[in-house]
């Protein structure tokens, strides 16, 4: 017994020692090592499972769906222990597959095998007959690739040290030294694809000894001899890095040992289009080869994806000139970040760094199965279907769907996972068959979900952005503002000036009718008329009666004289004009007094300018942290005590309330709250939420895949009126929309609320009236909320999130309205005005007297002298 166990331990130790010095211990669970582990054509899909010492093959027969017709087998070949399979491949239309690899665990040798399908057998064990050929002359190869020519008869194997042709019909293997074919003996092949007429193989060669890069990539074009089927190199392309780029600094010094980082991928389509992916420089190259005379590898374009690794980890042409590119993102030190499959229509739109894919997998509604890892390794096309391998060995087979449908993942829990056709969502369409997703309806067209093969034109004056589901009237996007700019004070806020301006202004039309000076002048004109009449009476009519009338009038006018205190009868006449002017002044002042406050004043018909108001204004910003006065404080209380109701309209969407959930931030915790109302009427999803507190942060999750065209945000709150305090009703809306674009999935809106407080000083007494309202400021840049058609393709998140943060500005707007003139001031200034008017005329009379009295004396003395000496004409003073 003891003896036996000692023996067992001895053998175990031997085993470990043996293992420790084998040159090639591959990790059996790593699907990302030493080659392509999946293959597919229209008959079956094969996945290599190296994960125990005897490798097996998972074979999934077409059709690739979950129906009972679809059969699956796990098969292996006899004596397969210690076989490590590098890669598996198959022709386009044969019911057989090839596999190649090396022996491990102290055994040495290289092998190539074929598994032929026997259609008449019903059991998985006998369905495939295996033939394996071994050769032992070559040491372990780090890179060893195989491929089949399309007819499926000949398999080619390429490594640095050897090349072989394996005839699967007559089972014969022809191996020769690699250095007989490779123009550069250091060439190690990393990826290959073969067509009837040519082949493209990509790999590394050793660079010149003095160069920076130790290994550099090279792409060879291979022609096949029509007699012997021998491959020979006819052209090559070296993707040189541009100077001063990060790729230029790569040395690739470890490219001689296997590393998934140096994986390459080649795919050729029926038209001679060649895609070569090199993930270590983040590039995919597109070449073209003339099939009739394949002697040149024409470079067409390339796609570089920024400063990361992983673009073109795997490439696969699909039908109709489409291609799928596996775009992984690794940091430069090869830390995985993301994996996505981009589907391009290369035939129609070309392919370069600026190309936009038709769709990206996974996306909003094409989700990964739950069991799947998010690290993708390989894609293979059939070429109509596409198989995807993840790093756990899980497989997803995406089947092409006809127009109007997209391939939706059906997570059945079994492996492989298949897709099935699902109708395009409203707002999207698909007019070609393929594995790509539906595209968003272009701006100006809509799809309500009935016909998904094309979008129909919208009505002309409706809101119809990208991805529309129906015609939305523009009125659904009205922005409501509640506050207008506060008025400015008039040019003059001194009552004297206003009074003088209005008294001595003559305009036309209405201004003429209300002009005091105009009426005064008319009265003055009458006065002049009377003066003329009087002088006519005096000088021309020499009649006692007329003299009497003249004396009486003089007497009356002397009594009415306010200017010369009854001295002059002309003064009496002029006084009438003064009285008219002063009366106008009183009337103006009385009416002017009541033009306050502007909110209750009507047009000033009594003045030339109907907008004349007895009000002056001040507006300023004040810090909210300076304690307000007691009178103001109450307005603050009212404002701070308002309860906000949030209104959200998601415009032009088919989304329903069932995909909405709400959270509000309490402290540092997001808690769920309920909405007040929610409904989708005419493609507008309206949501109303009562906010638990004023400056709440609220998150609205929109799970699911619906497209939203525009957003309208509003807040409402009831008003309240008190004796001196008027809290205005809050009710504003702000629409966010952009023609030709669609809302992003990650919406972040900041809403700053500012208090606006109007103070209206009282005309009589001390107590002012206050009114207050909040005004909103949306500090979010509207451009950050919208995506163009191209950007939308890259938005792959399966849910949308709207975060609304309400905060208050640290200042408030204080508006103050005060009367320009109060009653006492008006009375005082009117008295002044009267006195001034009288005094001015008095002054004129005084001047008149001062000038006229000496003149009259002179005249009289001259007149007298003239009578004395008729000859003398000179007046002597
Ligand atoms: C591999 O095995 C063959 C015989 O099976 C032997 O001749 C050869 O030396 C071995 N090569 C190496 C590298 O071990
Ligand atoms: C195919 O399978 C059937 C039934 O198992 C068997 O009789 C037949 O010999 C097989 N043919 C080949 C070529 O292996
Ligand atoms: C292949 O085998 C067929 C018979 O199965 C034979 O006629 C033909 O000559 C063979 N071809 C070669 C190249 O060995
Ligand atoms: C190719 O390599 C083999 C073995 O490595 C060597 O014997 C042979 O001379 C080489 N041929 C050429 C053309 O370099
Ligand atoms: C890359 O550089 C080599 C050597 O300088 C040159 O022969 C080759 O044409 C260049 N390839 C490209 C694509 O520019
Ligand atoms: C490509 O090869 C196939 C078979 O070798 C041949 O039938 C076909 O004519 C070739 N195509 C062209 C364009 O030369
Ligand atoms: C490549 O192969 C085709 C036959 O497949 C042949 O007609 C053509 O001449 C070859 N071209 C070169 C450059 O050898
Ligand atoms: C599909 O739709 C696009 C965009 O509307 C259009 O350019 C294209 O011609 C359509 N293709 C087919 C096959 O109808
Ligand atoms: C604030 O509102 C609550 C109820 O909504 C009310 O009880 C309270 O008196 C109000 N406070 C002020 C200062 O208006
Ligand atoms: C303040 O007064 C202006 C001018 O009358 C008015 O437009 C505005 O609505 C008032 N604001 C408040 C908060 O009452």
Structure tokens at 522: 């008319």
Average pLDDT over residues 364-379: 91
The residue among 652, 638, 663, 649 whose CA lies nearest residue 805 is 663
pLDDT tens string 816-826 = 999 998 899 89
In this structure, the dihedral spanned by the alpha carbons of residues 560, 562, 568 and 570, taken in order and rounded to 10 degrees, is -70
- Comparing 515 with 864, the larger pLDDT belongs to 515
Give the residue, out of 161, 177, 178, 185, with the most ligand 4 atoms within 8 A of its beta carbon, to mutate for a pocket test. Answer: 177
Give the residue, out of 179, 180, 183, 186, with the most ligand 4 atoms within 8 A of its beta carbon, to mutate for a pocket test. Answer: 179
How many Å apart are CA 706 and CA 468, to the nearest integer?
A: 11
Residue linked to tokens 């669970």: 29
Ligand nearest to the CA of 168: 3
Ligand nearest to the CA of 183: 4
Average pLDDT over residues 248-255: 89
Averaged pLDDT score across all residues of the chain: 88
Query: 3-class DSSP state for residue 870?
Result: coil
Residue 208 CA to ligand 5 centre (angstroms): 13
67 Cβ below 6 A of ligand 3: no
Per-residue pLDDT at 574:
81
pLDDT tens string 801-815 = 999 999 999 999 999
Residue 107 CA to ligand 1 centre (angstroms): 8
Average pLDDT over residues 604-633: 90
How many Å apart are CA 363 and CA 745, to the nearest integer?
A: 12
453 Cβ below 6 A of ligand 8: no
432 Cβ below 6 A of ligand 8: yes
Per-residue pLDDT at 553:
81
The residue among 369, 274, 289, 282 whose CA lies nearest residue 323 is 274
Contact 409, 368 (CB under 8 A): yes
H-run or E-run covering 6: helix 2-20
The residue among 50, 163, 28 whose CA lies nearest residue 99 is 50
**Sign of the dihedral defined by the CA atoms of residues 389, 394, 400, 405, in that order:** negative
Cα three-residue angle 25-31-33, rounded to 5 degrees:
50
Residue linked to tokens 């500090």: 779
pLDDT tens string 507-560 = 888 888 888 889 988 998 988 898 888 888 888 777 788 788 888 888 888 888
Which residues have CB under 8 Å from 560's CB, separation 6+? 572, 573, 575, 576
Q: Which atom of ligand 7 is nearest to the CA of 225?
A: 2
120 Cβ below 6 A of ligand 2: yes
The residue among 182, 187, 247 whose CA lies nearest residue 218 is 187
How many Å apart are CA 454 and CA 467, to the nearest integer?
A: 12
Give the residue, out of 136, 140, 162, with the most ligand 1 atoms within 8 A of its beta carbon, to mutate for a pocket test. Answer: 136
Residue 674 CA to ligand 9 centre (angstroms): 23
pLDDT tens string 447-487 = 988 878 899 999 988 999 999 999 999 999 999 999 999 99
Annotate 76-121 with three-state secondary structure: CCCCCCCEEEEEEECCCCCCEEEEEEEECCCCCCEEEEEEEECCCC
Residue 302 CA to ligand 5 centre (angstroms): 15
Burial class (CB within 10 angstroms; exposed 0-12, middle 13-18, buried 19+) of 548: exposed
The residue among 334, 188, 326 whose CA lies nearest residue 250 is 334
Give the residue, out of 319, 424, 431, with the most ligand 8 atoms within 8 A of its beta carbon, to mutate for a pocket test. Answer: 431
Q: Which atom of ligand 9 is nearest to the CA of 641?
A: 1
- Residue closest by Cα to atom 4 of ligand 7: 226
Per-residue pLDDT at 345:
95
pLDDT band at 869 (very low <50, low <70, confident <90, very high): low
Ligand 10 site: residues with CB under 6 angstroms? 483-484, 486-487, 598-599, 728, 756, 758, 771-773, 815
Identify the bridge partners of residue 84 per DSSP, sorted by sequence position: 102
pLDDT tens string 133-156 = 999 989 899 999 999 998 889 999
Per-residue pLDDT at 13:
39
pLDDT at 18 over 80: no
238 Cβ below 6 A of ligand 5: yes
Give the residue, out of 149, 233, 293, 297, with the most ligand 7 atoms within 8 A of its beta carbon, to mutate for a pocket test. Answer: 293
- Residue closest by Cα to atom 8 of ligand 10: 483
* pTM of the predicted structure, to 2 decimals: 0.83
How many angstroms separate the Cα of 131 from the Cα of each of 113, 115, 170?
Answer: 5, 7, 11
- Residue closest by Cα to atom 14 of ligand 10: 771
pLDDT tens string 86-112 = 999 999 888 899 999 999 887 889 999
Per-residue pLDDT at 868:
63
Contact 622, 710 (CB under 8 A): no
Least confident range of 64-78, 625-639, 654-668: 64-78
């Amino acid at each position: 017994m003891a003896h036996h166990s000692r023996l067992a331990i001895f053998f175990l130790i031997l085993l470990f020692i043996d293992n420790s010095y084998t040159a090639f211990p591959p990790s059996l669970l790593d699907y990302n090592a030493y080659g392509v582990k999946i293959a597919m054509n229209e008959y079956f899909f094969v996945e290599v499972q190296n994960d125990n010492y005897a490798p097996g093959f998972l074979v999934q027969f077409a059709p690739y769906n979950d129906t009972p017709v679809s059969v699956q087998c796990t098969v292996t070949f006899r004596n397969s222990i210690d076989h490590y399979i590098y890669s598996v491949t198959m022709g386009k239309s044969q019911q057989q597959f090839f596999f190649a690899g090396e022996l491990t665990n102290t055994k040495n040798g290289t092998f190539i095998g074929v598994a032929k399908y026997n259609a008449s057998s019903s059991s998985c064990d006998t369905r495939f007959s295996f033939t394996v050929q071994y050769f032992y002359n070559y040491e372990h190869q780090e890179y060893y690739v195989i491929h089949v020519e399309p007819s499926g008869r000949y398999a080619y194997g390429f490594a640095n040290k050897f090349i072989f042709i394996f005839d699967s019909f007559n089972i014969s293997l022809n191996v020769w030294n690699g250095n007989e074919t490779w123009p550069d003996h250091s060439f190690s092949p990393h990826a290959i694809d073969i067509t009837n007429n040519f082949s493209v193989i990509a790999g590394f060669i050793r660079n010149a000894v003095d160069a920076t890069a130790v290994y550099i990539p090279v792409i060879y074009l291979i022609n096949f001899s029509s007699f012997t089927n021998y491959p020979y190199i006819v052209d090559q392309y070296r993707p040189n890095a541009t100077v001063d780029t990060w790729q230029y600094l790569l040395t690739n010094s470890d490219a001689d040992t296997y590393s998934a980082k140096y994986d390459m991928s080649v795919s050729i389509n029926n038209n001679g289009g060649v895609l070569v992916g090199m993930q270590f420089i983040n590039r995919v190259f597109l070449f073209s080869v003339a099939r009739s005379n394949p002697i040149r590898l024409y470079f067409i374009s390339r796609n570089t994806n920024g400063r990361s690794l992983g673009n073109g980890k795997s490439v696969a042409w699909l039908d109709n000139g489409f291609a799928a590119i596996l775009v992984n993102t690794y940091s430069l030190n090869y830390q995985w970040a993301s994996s996505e499959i981009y589907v391009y229509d290369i035939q129609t739109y070309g392919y370069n760094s600026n190309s936009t894919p038709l769709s990206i997998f996974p996306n909003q509604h094409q989700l990964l199965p739950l069991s799947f890892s998010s690290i993708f390794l390989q894609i293979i096309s059939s070429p109509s279907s596409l198989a995807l391998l993840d790093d756990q060995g899980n497989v997803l087979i995406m089947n092409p769907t006809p127009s109007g449908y997209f391939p939706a993942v059906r997570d059945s829990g079994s492996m492989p996972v298949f897709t099935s056709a699902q109708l395009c969502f409203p707002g999207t369409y698909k007019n070609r068959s393929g594995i790509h997703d539906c595209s968003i309806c272009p701006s100006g067209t809509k799809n309500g979900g009935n016909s998904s093969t094309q979008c129909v034109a919208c009505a002309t004056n409706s809101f119809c952005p990208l991805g529309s589901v129906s015609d939305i009237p523009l009125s659904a996007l009205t922005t409501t503002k509640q506050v207008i700019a506060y008025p400015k004070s008039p040019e003059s806020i001194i009552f004297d000036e206003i009074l003088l301006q209005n008294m001595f202004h003559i305009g036309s039309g209405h201004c003429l009718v209300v002009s005091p000076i105009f009426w005064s002048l008319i009265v003055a004109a009458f006065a002049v008329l009377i003066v003329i009449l009087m002088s006519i009476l005096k000088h021309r009519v020499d009649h006692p009666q007329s003299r009497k009338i003249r004396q009486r009038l003089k007497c009356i006018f002397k009594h009415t004289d306010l200017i010369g205190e009854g001295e002059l009868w002309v003064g009496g006449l002029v006084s009438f004009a003064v009285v008219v002017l002063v009366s106008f002044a009183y009337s103006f002042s009385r009416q002017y007094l009541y033009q306050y406050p502007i909110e209750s004043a009507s047009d000033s018909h009594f003045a030339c300018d109907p907008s004349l108001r007895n009000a002056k204004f001040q507006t300023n910003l004040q810090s909210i942290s300076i304690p307000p006065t007691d009178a103001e404080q109450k307005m603050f209380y009212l404002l701070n005590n308002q309860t906000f109701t949030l209104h959200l309209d998601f415009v032009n969407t088919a989304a329903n309330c069932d995909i909405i959930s709400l959270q509000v931030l309490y402290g540092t915790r997001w808690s769920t709250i309920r909405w007040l109302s929610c409904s989708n009427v005419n493609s507008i999803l309206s949501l109303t939420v009562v906010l638990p507190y004023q400056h709440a942060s609220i998150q609205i999750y929109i799970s699911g895949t619906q497209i939203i065209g525009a957003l309208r945000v509003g807040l409402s709150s009831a008003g309240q009126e008190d004796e001196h305090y008027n809290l205005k009703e809050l009710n504003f809306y702000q629409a966010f929309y952009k023609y030709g674009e669609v809302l992003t999935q990650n919406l972040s809106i900041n809403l700053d609320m500012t208090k606006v407080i109007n103070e209206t000083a009282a005309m009589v007494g001390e107590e002012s009236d206050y009114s207050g309202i909040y005004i909103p400021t949306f500090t979010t840049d509207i451009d950050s909320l919208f995506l163009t058609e191209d950007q939308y393709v890259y938005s792959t998140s399966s849910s949308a999130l709207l975060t609304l943060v309400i905060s208050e500005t640290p200042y408030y707007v204080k508006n103050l309205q005060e009367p320009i003139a109060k009653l006492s001031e008006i009375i005082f200034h009117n008295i002044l005005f009267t006195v001034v008017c009288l005094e001015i005329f008095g002054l004129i009379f005084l001047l008149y007297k001062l000038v006229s009295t000496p003149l009259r004396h002179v005249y009289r003395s001259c007149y007298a002298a003239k009578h004395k000496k008729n000859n003398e004409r000179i007046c002597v003073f």
